[in-house]
Amino acid sequence: MKKQAINPQPPTDFTGITITEPAKVAAGVRAVTNSFKHVFGAMNVFRGMTALLSLNQKGGVDCPSCAWPDPDGERSSIAEYCENGAKSIAEEATALRLGPVFFQRYSVSELSQKSDYWLGQQGRLTHPMVIKEGKTHYEKISWEDAITLIADELNALPSPNDGIFYTSGRASNEAAFLYQLFVRQFGTNNLPDCSNMCHESSGSALGKTLGLGKGSVTLDDFNKAEVIMILGQNPGTNHPRMLTALEEAKKAGAKIISVNPLIETGLLAFQHPQHLSDMISGGTSLTDIYLQIKINSDLALLKAMAILMYEAEQIHPNSVFDHQFIQENTADFDLFINDLKNYQLDDLVAECGIPLAQIKEAANLLIQYNRIIICWAMGLTQHKNSVITIQEVVNILLLKGSIGKEGAGTCPVRGHSNVQGDRTMGIYERPSSAFLDKLDQNFDFKSPREHGFDVVKAIKAMHKEAGKVFIALGGNFLSATPDTEFTAKALQNSQLTVHVSTKLNRSHLIHGKMALILPCLGRTDEDIQSSGKQFVSTENSMGVVQQSKGTLTPPADTVWSESAIVAKVAKATLKNRSKVDWEKLISNYDLIRDLIEKTIDGFNNYNARVRQAGGFYLPNAPRERKFTTQNLKANFTVCPFEPLKMADDEYLMMTIRTHDQFNTTIYGLDDRYRGIFNERRVILMNEKDIESAGFKTYQVVDLHNSFGGVNRKAEQFIIVPYNIPSRNVATYFPEANVLVPIDSVADVSNTPTSKSVMIKILPVLSEGDKQPTYAKVG
């Protein structure tokens, strides 16, 4: 039996890659043509237009990709979506179908040799499929038998804590609430989710300092901000509709500071496809000051800026800091200032790798203005020091009183469309006692109080064979997680792996002794239950809960909604141990929302308010200058900075996404904005570093990491010279995830450090004459 391929296969001939100059402006006509190419290449015009015209409209379909909010007021009737959203719709609403015959044709081993892109292009799953121990192919299984298999395996576990229940950020509020209720009635808090790998650091930092692990701004605040600072984020690719907000802010007079090791097109300029003036003029310039710092030197930068702000305050007392706000609303200001005095500005500047003059220019904007928004994404959240870096962000805002007023505040930009909503619904391995008390009260059971596994702990448990049943409500767990070889072994150690999915992915192919694939409805699919058509709800990055109603005919009658799958599994597993009428709940999702209203604060009158155009805002105490920390204050934090140490032959690698992907979903093989086409196995490297290391442009190399004494290897990457700081390199996710150590995590949040990976680079030599190998670049 041929062994399954854990990683996407590297190229064999290294031909086909094309390199051009990076783009200077984001969006424009090219974004429109690419959107239509993807959508109408996947379905007919009628189906495509039906999906697009309802996308992000009030009462329509909430985009399945990123969590950027929709405008509260009028929305574009032409297109309230971006290129990435259109690609997501093309991926989900495709006319292609993947049924039992496909799985008869291909063994699991054969499928595992295919690329992630190829797997995703095969169409929507139509039937439940099972692979039993010792078999080579998935086979069709009835829903009844699949549900029974899951229930039997769960009930056979020695302990409920031997079950692991993962959630992707795509799951709706309704499905997530039912899922966590089922899991806790089963007897465990093992509810890892994708937040553990992205914005867990944000929640950890913000909860401690401000009392709420969410951002404090609204979309309207961008129009009123004086300064917008963007750290570790590439909105042009990962949150393209944010560019509209930045353009409007810029036209309203805001100054924009961008902080990133790469010069990203979407931070330079934006050409709005629906604005004739933009199309004629070439677009709107966005960034005023671009700080191209070294990877993970954000904390050094923020400290340097705080020092410059403090020095200005000393020269001009009461002109820089908001002392009234500090005195009335904060704690530990003196501790923060005293610690700041321990740092030398020159040392911090050297760590950043940019001139002091640039840092002073940016700091002067923070000194001069008071309405400041600071945005960040995974460029801040996936380092060992991520939590204290984000706490330093909060320190800057507290100095200026830029929390709880118009045009100011924190803005962690979430990735997946309902990742924030899932956490609100209780998808969390460390729930509060107050939340569990409400569950006990409303559902007449005693919920487990022991903390469960997050993603990293879940992987380690499965690796030790302590996690015996793994169920994933959406997502591509293997490709999303760190240390791919380690995670693969963990999944293979499981007795049963279950994936609730819309399309085929690599996690279906690296499975437990038994495995199930359960096909589910997507956002665009019409959801009809016994009481009629249903809708679901989601929560965006700024705490707005809105409905999402699919309009397209589902791929097959044998495809169930996520809520129905969860309820059926819960009923079969729990039997008379649960007093919940699971069948009744899925007959009408209003009944699920009634239970959410009874259990979670902020959802009063849920069913009425979610039907209002645009939905409703959840309570956000920091937005009102109320801080629900232990001391009821916004807390300054002492954030110790430690310089990075690397050996002479080491490089600091960060994983990034291309413009043709969303999370683990690969839409194509191009990274248009960065000028890299038809290839994903590349390593972006400083041109002087290439020369000093004795490499050549487009040479093929292997990448190595030995953290913790474990040798990890990512094979056959093509060196591409790029504008990136010296000794820093960048590779695409998930191809380079194999190098991210399972034990290298952020302090406090336990998030894998996918943006801070120490690697060594070694040449690939030809088999015969042992000469360096090169790609043929067009």
Report the share of the chain in percent with pLDDT over 90: 87
Q: What pLDDT is stored for residue 630 in this prediction?
A: 96
Pairing of strands 469-473, 496-501: parallel
Q: What pLDDT is stored for residue 281 in this prediction?
A: 85
Q: Which residues pair with 765 in a beta bridge?
A: 772
Whether the predicted pLDDT of 242 surpasses 50:
yes
Q: What pLDDT is stored for residue 102 in this prediction?
A: 98
Indicate the pLDDT class of residue 2, thresholds 50, 70 and 90. low
Residue 19 φ then ψ, to 5°: -120, 130
3-class state of residue 330 by DSSP:
strand
* Tokens read off for 95: 């006319």
Q: What pLDDT is stored for residue 9 in this prediction?
A: 62
Q: Which residues pair with 285 in a beta bridge?
A: 269
Where are the extended beta strands (E) located within 371-440? 372-376, 409-412
Whether the predicted pLDDT of 255 surpasses 60:
yes
Residues 6+ apart with CB under 8 A from 291: 257, 258, 259, 260, 301, 352, 354, 358, 359, 362
Among 752, 628, 600, CA closest to 180 = 600
Q: What pLDDT is stored for residue 392 in this prediction?
A: 98
3-class state of residue 251 by DSSP:
helix
Distance CA 431, CA 214 (A): 16
The average pLDDT across 340-362 equals 98
Q: What pLDDT is stored for residue 279 in this prediction?
A: 83
Choose between 416 and 466: higher pLDDT. Answer: 466
- CB 397, CB 366: distance < 8 Å: no
**Largest Cα span, the chain:** 76
Among 85, 29, 14, 8, CA closest to 52 = 85
Indicate the pLDDT class of residue 170, thresholds 50, 70 and 90. confident
- Crossing angle of helices 29-42 and 45-54, in 10° steps, is 120
Q: What pLDDT is stored for residue 1 in this prediction?
A: 42
- CB count within 10 Å of CB 753 equals 23
Count of alpha carbons within 13 angstroms of residue 85, beta-carbon side: 28
Q: What pLDDT is stored for residue 42 in this prediction?
A: 92
Distance CA 730, CA 719 (A): 10
3-class state of residue 763 by DSSP:
strand
Among 297, 64, 298, CA closest to 169 = 64
- CB 490, CB 174: distance < 8 Å: no
Indicate the pLDDT class of residue 548, thresholds 50, 70 and 90. very high
Tell me the per-residue pLDDT of 30-49, one tens digit each, with 9 for 90 and over.
988 999 999 899 999 999 89
Distance CA 610, CA 617 (A): 10
The average pLDDT across 177-188 equals 98
Least confident range of 52-66, 95-109, 277-291: 52-66
Query: Can you give 548-612 as a three-state secondary structure string?
Result: ECCCECCCCCCCECHHHHHHHHHHHHHHHHCCCCHHHHHHCHHHHHHHHHHHCCCCCCHHHHCCC
Indicate the pLDDT class of residue 613, thresholds 50, 70 and 90. very high
Q: Which residues pair with 158 in a beta bridge?
A: none
Using alpha carbons, list the distances in angstroms from residue 221 to 215, 228, 373, 646. 12, 10, 8, 41
Tell me the per-residue pLDDT of 336-345, one tens digit each, with 9 for 90 and over.
999 999 999 9
Least confident range of 10-14, 563-567, 740-744: 10-14
3-class state of residue 732 by DSSP:
strand
Using alpha carbons, list the distances in angstroms from residue 142 to 100, 147, 496, 519, 649. 12, 9, 17, 12, 55
The average pLDDT across 536-557 equals 95
Whether the predicted pLDDT of 10 surpasses 80:
no
Mean pLDDT in the chain? 95
Whether the predicted pLDDT of 64 surpasses 90:
no
Residues 6+ apart with CB under 8 A from 318: none
Tell me the per-residue pLDDT of 695-711, one tens digit each, with 9 for 90 and over.
999 999 999 999 999 99
Tell me the per-residue pLDDT of 263-289, one tens digit each, with 9 for 90 and over.
999 999 999 988 878 888 889 999 999
Indicate the pLDDT class of residue 8, thresholds 50, 70 and 90. low
pTM value? Answer: 0.96
Residue 460 φ then ψ, to 5°: -65, -40
Do you find a cis peptide bond into 10, omega within 30 degrees of 0? no
**Cα–Cα–Cα angle for 621, 387, 539, nearest 5°?**
45
Indicate the pLDDT class of residue 3, thresholds 50, 70 and 90. low
The average pLDDT across 422-429 equals 97
Buried b (16+ CB within 10 A) or exposed e, 440-469: eeebebebbeeebbbbbbbbbbbbeebbbb
* Tokens read off for 240: 């393209």
Among 132, 138, 102, 136, CA closest to 2 = 136
Tell me the per-residue pLDDT of 625-637, one tens digit each, with 9 for 90 and over.
999 999 999 999 9
Among 282, 291, 153, 157, CA closest to 231 = 291
- Crossing angle of helices 562-574 and 143-155, in 10° steps, is 50
Report the share of the chain in percent with pLDDT over 70: 99
Using alpha carbons, list the distances in angstroms from residue 410 to 88, 390, 634. 28, 10, 13
